[in-house]
Amino acid sequence: MNKIAIDLGSSVTKIYKIGSGIVLVEPSCVAVNTADSTVKAIGKDAKQLIGKTSDYTTTVFPVFEGEIVNEKLATTMLNHFLYKAGVKSGAEAVFCVHCGFDAGQKALYQKIASGCALRKVSFVESPILAGLGDDVPFTVYEPAFCIDIGHGVTDIAAFSSDGIIAGISMNVGGGSIDVHIIDHIADLYGIKIGSLTSESVKVNVGSLYDTDNQSMIVNGRDIASGKPCSKVVYAPNLFFPLQTHVDKVIEYALLVLGKLPAEVSAVIRKNGILLTGGMAKLAGIREYFEEHLQMEVHVGDEPQMSVILGGGRIVGNPDLLRRVRAEV
Ligand SMILES: Nc1ncnc2c1ncn2[C@@H]1O[C@H](COP(=O)(O)OP(=O)(O)OP(=O)(O)O)[C@@H](O)[C@H]1O
Ligand SMILES: [Mg+2]
């Protein structure tokens, strides 16, 4: 029987299979025929169609800001990914979920799991998994602190091997930054860019180092004339949208840190915090957090994979799973 971990991210789905490691990393995207609702493409094939579809096709992200918003398409998508990853029916699965996971979300996940022929499912909150995935030492006496900045959600939590001590989940992430970049570039240059271009400019040029000045040519539509046009976008042009959202995360992290019991606070101050999620790959973000939190900040080699790697660890460790799984 396969034992797997599944992270149904707002932007990227990741699957880990015991014995094989990470077996799938694909955009959580489905292209659907608007006339008869049939599925035209799933994963990277679907994401490539964003902003280029005719009236007959629409692209859907079945998970939006961390919530399952289209159970049927989420099931179709996950079934396709499990098949592609060679996962057999009847697998035991751990789902990586956000802080504040509730009974309503659990019911939706369980429907999806049964639609995908998964046998036994458990749920564990992302910060704990990120800590495990990045080998952060934590025990029942020695808590840890993690900030996971994904596409639709940022999870911030202090936790021990007994579970979450204090944590929150907020709807800020790479997705809200992409939207802000689109508006900001429109204001600066009078050019409307699409969401794929916005994500690409954020990943390739975005930086929180105020000395960075790398650039990229972006293509879009001139707002005044309606004609296709190109502009060079420089790193400092993106600083404001990036800083606005990252500052919000820092504000909430300080709020959680400020409410921790004194003993927990002391350990975290000594050991520092872990930063994970796709946004942890942004240039300069570690240093920016260190400066604003006045604490040591650690970023692993592959921060976007920390949570799913932790999922893989925990599905193979029933004792720890029993202790930290989310019971709602
Ligand atoms: N090098 C990079 N610099 C900045 N952002 C990046 C980089 N690489 C990826 N990202 C962003 O990280 C986000 C995806 O991260 P991640 O896979 O952790 O999210 P997710 O798990 O799908 O979403 P969520 O956890 O919010 O449901 C996207 O917004 C993507 O554009
Ligand atoms: Mg995530």
Q: CB under 8 Å to 306, separation ≥6 — which residues?
A: 129, 130, 133, 134, 148, 274, 276, 277, 300
Q: Does residue 173 line the site of ligand 1, with CB under 6 A?
A: yes
Q: Is 199 in the pocket of ligand 1 (CB under 6 A)?
A: yes
For ligand 1, whether the C-beta of 151 sits within 6 Å is: yes
Rounded to two decimals, the pTM is 0.97
The alpha carbon of 35 and the centre of ligand 2 are apart by a number of angstroms equal to: 32
pLDDT grade for 53, boundaries at 50, 70 and 90: confident
Tell me if the domain spanning 137-299 has CATH number 3.10.20.30: no
- What is the distance, to the nearest Å, from the Cα of residue 215 to the centroid of all Cα atoms in its chain? 26
User: 10 CA distance to ligand 2 centroid (A)?
Assistant: 7
pLDDT above 70: percentage of residues in the chain: 100
What is the predicted pLDDT for the residue at 65? 97
Which atom of ligand 1 is the closest one to the Cα of 174?
29
Residue owning the nearest CA to atom 19 of ligand 1: 150
Same fold, 3-128+308-324 and 137-299: yes
CA dist., res. 215 & res. 189, Å (int):
14
Q: Which CATH code fits 3-128+308-324?
A: 3.30.420.40
Domains in the chain: boundaries: 3-128+308-324, 137-299
252-311 pLDDT per residue, tens: 999 999 999 999 999 999 999 999 999 999 999 999 999 999 999 999 999 999 999 999
pLDDT at position 1: 83
- Average pLDDT value over all residues in the chain: 97
> What pLDDT, in 10s, does the model give residues 65-101?
999 999 999 999 999 999 999 999 999 999 999 999 9
Q: Kindly give the pairing relationship between strand 12-17 and strand 228-234.
A: unpaired
| Ligand 1 lined by 127 (C-beta under 6 Å) | no
Q: What is d(CA 84, CA 52) in angstroms, rounded to the nearest whole number? A: 26
Q: Where does the pLDDT of residue 163 fall: very low under 50, low under 70, confident under 90, or very high at 90 and above?
A: very high
